[in-house]
Amino acid sequence: MSLWLVSLLALVPGLIGYLANLLVSWTLTGPVWAFAAVFYLQAPLAAVFCLWLGRRCARSRHAFPAALAASQWANALSFLLYLWQFHLCDDAGRSFFWALLAQCPAGPLLSWSMRIVMPFSGGTWAQTETTIATALSLVFLAILFSLGFWWGRRKKTA
């Protein structure tokens, strides 16, 4: 698998997050089971995809740092975009498009990271907790890719 293909596939978690966001907004007025299906299936889908992508990269001859950089560039860029939109811009200057684009890659695993951040939030939820949960969600994606890479290398040598 070439690094260009890995770089393109790095956009998939963001697409999953965007589609889940879109489907959740559609299902809020529709049946409850559709909302639950979209909300609860996005995290396992993104996790399995990251494990699969890491395993596929390990079976190619790329070094781990190059494969990790190729698979996580979109996440790093989206986090920088997130910091710009939610910490450097005021509410009036915030772009809806850029703010949505900044949140999409973290979206699928955000429910998992929120469960980790919530006990340390002190009963309140503000921008700081959301930023930490977003960063943690992106770290989870990198960890899942790394586990898949390790699994693929282990299978390759065995």
Q: Residues 11-58: pLDDT tens digits?
A: 999 999 898 888 777 766 767 777 777 778 899 999 999 999 999 999
Closest CA to 79 of 58, 110, 125: 110
Contact (CB, 8 A) for 67 and 3: yes
Q: Return the structure tokens found at 65.
A: 């740092």
Q: Residues 114-156: pLDDT tens digits?
A: 999 999 988 888 999 999 999 999 999 999 999 999 999 886 5
Q: What is the pLDDT of residue 91?
A: 87
- Inter-CA distances, 140 with 27, 116, 128, Å: 27, 12, 18
Q: Residues 116-125: pLDDT tens digits?
A: 999 998 888 8
Look at residue 89 and tell me whether its pLDDT is greater than 80: yes
Q: What is the pLDDT of residue 21?
A: 81
Contact (CB, 8 A) for 34 and 15: no
Q: Residues 57-83: pLDDT tens digits?
A: 999 888 999 999 999 999 999 999 999
- Inter-CA distances, 111 with 8, 66, 75, 92, 105, Å: 25, 29, 17, 28, 13
